[in-house]
Structure 1
Amino acid sequence: MAVEIETVLVPVDGTSEAERAVEYAVAVAQRYDAGVHVLHVVGESVARGVQHGAIDADDVADDHQAFMDTVRGYANGVPVTQSVALGFSATKLTQHPVGVVLDTADEIGADFVVVPRESVREQPTAMLGKVAQYVLSYASQPVLSV
């Protein structure tokens, strides 16, 4: 039975580990002639900083654009799409990064997920390494944790 992969989801949080996960996601996509969907998961501290004016939303958007420029450099012709989601919500207590990743995988019809395993805790955007084990345990798609 042949494995069919059309969409590879890679959640990112702006860390070097997330960038490495993108490299793996592109490699999987190239192997299966698939596309890559990059999900920018915005951490609680960044979301609150934007909400309270301590962080400029344009700076966050510029950071995402710079990250996507890097992704497109790796892509080598692989189609790349992107979306942004809040990892946490002050109004929706059940919203957390694991749920955001799993829900997005279902919503976009991802066939494969690549998640960064370790994040540098000193970085304010780092958070996905903490959820990799849960994504591995609960995703209905195959998951590669790097």
Structure 2
Amino acid sequence: MAPADAPLSVETVLVPVDGTDQATKAAEYAIAIADRYDADVTAVYVLAETISRAIEREAVDHETVAEESQSYLEGLTETAAASGVALDATVAYGFSKTKKSQHPGSVVLDTADEIGADFLVIPREDQHEDERDTLAKAAEYVLLYASQPVLSV
């Protein structure tokens, strides 16, 4: 239940993550918001283009990628549980060879719609290029097109 003085009702917070420090920081904010509003968190691990392409070419073992992603998400689940917040987690490809419109920003917004998220927390763009910094590329798109309130951290 939201605090009586809260101008906003939040039941589900979505936080896209990609294993970066910025994504972990965003997840911590999402957990704090969920704690404040007695809400749940869903974390969606968005795989980078290079990883998605490597899996498609079988240049990288998809099971190894799944284990690494799962390990990261388990850490977030433990962090949320320590705050008394329920966290669900999933993994999604940020890019697709067959769907031209699939990119990290669309994955975040599609996931938000699918789960009925009413608040989004997303890492903001960073000043350096990192091939794993998938969500920084999605931040502007999400800020422009999200129908939910968005906190960019």
TM above 0.5:
yes
Aligned residues: 145
> Aligned partners of 1:91, 1:137: CA distance in 2, in Å?
25
How far did residue 129 of structure 1 move? 0.8
Residue 67 of structure 1: aligned partner = 72
Corresponding position: 1:99 with 2:106: yes
Runs of 4+ in 1 over 4 A off after TM superposition: none
What is the TM-score with the length of structure 2 in the denominator? Answer: 0.88
How far did residue 22 of structure 1 move? 0.4
How far did residue 125 of structure 1 move? 2.3
- Gapped runs of 5+ residues in structure 2? 1-5
Q: Which amino acid aligns with 1:78?
A: V
Deviation digits for residues 86-142 of structure 1 (CA, Å, limit 9, x no counterpart)? 1111011111111111111111000100001135523x3221112212211110000
Deviation digits for residues 38-68 of structure 1 (CA, Å, limit 9, x no counterpart)? 0111122101111222211111111112211
- Gapped runs of 5+ residues in structure 1? none
Of 115, 124, 148 in structure 2, the residue corresponding to residue 117 of structure 1 is 124
How much identity, in percent, do the aligned residues show? Answer: 52
Which 10-residue stretch deviates more, 42-51 or 27-36?
A: 42-51
> Aligned partners of 1:29, 1:3: CA distance in 2, in Å?
12
